[in-house]
Amino acid sequence: MDLNFLQGRLKEALEQSHLKRNIRYCNIGFSSKNLADLDDITQSLRLLLPGYGLWQTPSMQGAPDLLASRKQLIDQILASKQQGIIIHQPDQWLSQGSLVDKQAFWSALGMSHGHTKVVLSFAESNEFQQINNKYYKLTPLTGLAINLWRPARTE
């Protein structure tokens, strides 16, 4: 993947759907079916959002413990003192949760505003689309095998 092209497309998406001051629901996600692309997305996001924390590995760099509940995850996001948080593969923390817990997590992020901003990079799956069809809407990024997910309330 051409990393310069990726960074340019991510920057455009961030500027339009995440960083503008007048956007109320700004917690967005980027997905790919290719796991190597997720690493490229996360590294590009780190460069584009230097003031954001990174949750990449449970219990490291301020990320929650692997066994944190959905409520603990949301509470830790809301309590963050950083400008925002990049969450790499949030399913790491949600893998033990029920379908209802997963829906509640994504719903809380999709409807949250006025708190810590969140950008996610995650593996695209049929389960994600089923869980989130009410909370997040898909927008393909032209020229990439990556999708942007914006809160449904922004439309």
For residue 42 the two structure tokens come to: 């996360």
- Identify residue 68 by its one-letter amino acid code: A
Q: Is the pLDDT of residue 108 over 70?
A: yes
> Mean pLDDT across the stretch 2-31?
93
Domains of the chain, start order: 3-7+27-60+67-147 (3.40.50)
3-state DSSP call for residue 155? coil
Q: According to the model, what pLDDT value does residue 155 have?
A: 62
Helix, strand, or coil (residue 93): helix
Region 118-138 average pLDDT? 87
Higher pLDDT, 154 or 44: 44
